Structure 1
Amino acid sequence: MRRALLIVAKAPEPGRTKTRLVPPLTPDQAAELSKAFLLDTLHLARQLAWERISVVAPAGSATALAPLLPPEVILLEQRGIGLGDALRHAFASHFAESFSRVVLIGSDSPTLPAAFIRQACAALERFDLSVGPSVDGGYYLIGMRQPHLGVFEDISWSTASVFAETLQRAHALSLNVSTLPTWYDVDDAEHLARLRNELRSSPADLAPHTRAALQTLSLVAPAASASV
Structure 2
Amino acid sequence: MSPPRRAPEAGATLLVIAKEPVPGRVKTRLTPPFTPVEAARLAEAALADTLAVVAALPARRRVLVLDGRPGPWLPDGYEVLPQGEGGLDERIAAAFDACRGPALLVGMDTPQLTAGLLAPALAPDAWEGRAAWFGPAADGGFWALGLADPDPGLVRGVPMSTDRTGELQRRRLLEAGLTVRDLPVLRDVDTAEDAAEVAARTRGRFAAEHARLRQAVAR
TM over 0.5: yes
Aligned residues: 205
**Contact 1:66–1:75 (CA under 8 A) maintained in structure 2:** no
Question: What SS does structure 2 have at the residue aligned with 1:136?
Answer: coil
Alignment CA distance shift 1:121-1:219 (3 Å) = farther
- RMSD between aligned alpha carbons? 1.8
Higher helix share: 1
Given the two structures, how large is their TM-score scaled by the length of structure 1?
Answer: 0.83
1:117 aligns to what?
Answer: 118
Q: Which moved further from structure 2: 163-172 or 67-76?
A: 67-76
1:224 aligns to what?
Answer: none
CA distance in 2, matches of 1:219, 1:183: 26
Unpaired stretches in structure 2, ≥5 consecutive residues: 1-9
2:3 aligns to what?
Answer: none
**Match for residue 91 of structure 1 among 82, 96, 113:** 96
Amino acid across the alignment from 1:198: R
1:129 aligns to what?
Answer: 132
**Contact 1:56–1:90 (CA under 8 A) maintained in structure 2:** yes
**Match for residue 43 of structure 1 among 25, 48, 52:** 52
- Whether 2:179 is the aligned partner of 1:176: answer yes
Aligned-pair CA distance for 1:156: 1.1
**Match for residue 14 of structure 1 among 20, 23, 29:** 23
Q: Which moved further from structure 2: 123-132 or 183-192?
A: 123-132
- Whether 2:13 is the aligned partner of 1:4: answer yes
State the Cα deviation string for residues 148-195 of structure 1 (Å, max 9, x = none).
Answer: 322213311111111110122112211221111111111112211212
Amino acid across the alignment from 1:168: R
**Contact 1:39–1:68 (CA under 8 A) maintained in structure 2:** yes
Aligned-pair CA distance for 1:211: 2.5
State the Cα deviation string for residues 125-161 of structure 1 (Å, max 9, x = none).
Answer: 2452000000000000000111232221331111111
CA distance in 2, matches of 1:142, 1:32: 26
Amino acid across the alignment from 2:72: P
Alignment CA distance shift 1:127-1:184 (3 Å) = farther
Given the two structures, how large is their TM-score scaled by the length of structure 2?
Answer: 0.86
CA distance in 2, matches of 1:219, 1:7: 30
Aligned-pair CA distance for 1:94: 1.6
Aligned-pair CA distance for 1:215: 2.7
**Match for residue 151 of structure 1 among 143, 151, 154:** 154
**Contact 1:103–1:121 (CA under 8 A) maintained in structure 2:** no
Amino acid across the alignment from 2:118: I
CA distance in 2, matches of 1:28, 1:80: 26
Amino acid across the alignment from 2:166: F
Unpaired stretches in structure 1, ≥5 consecutive residues: 200-205, 221-228
2:77 aligns to what?
Answer: 72
**Contact 1:120–1:131 (CA under 8 A) maintained in structure 2:** no
1:24 aligns to what?
Answer: 33
State the Cα deviation string for residues 88-110 of structure 1 (Å, max 9, x = none).
Answer: 11112121xxxx32100011111
State the Cα deviation string for residues 192-211 of structure 1 (Å, max 9, x = none).
Answer: 12123214xxxxxx32x112
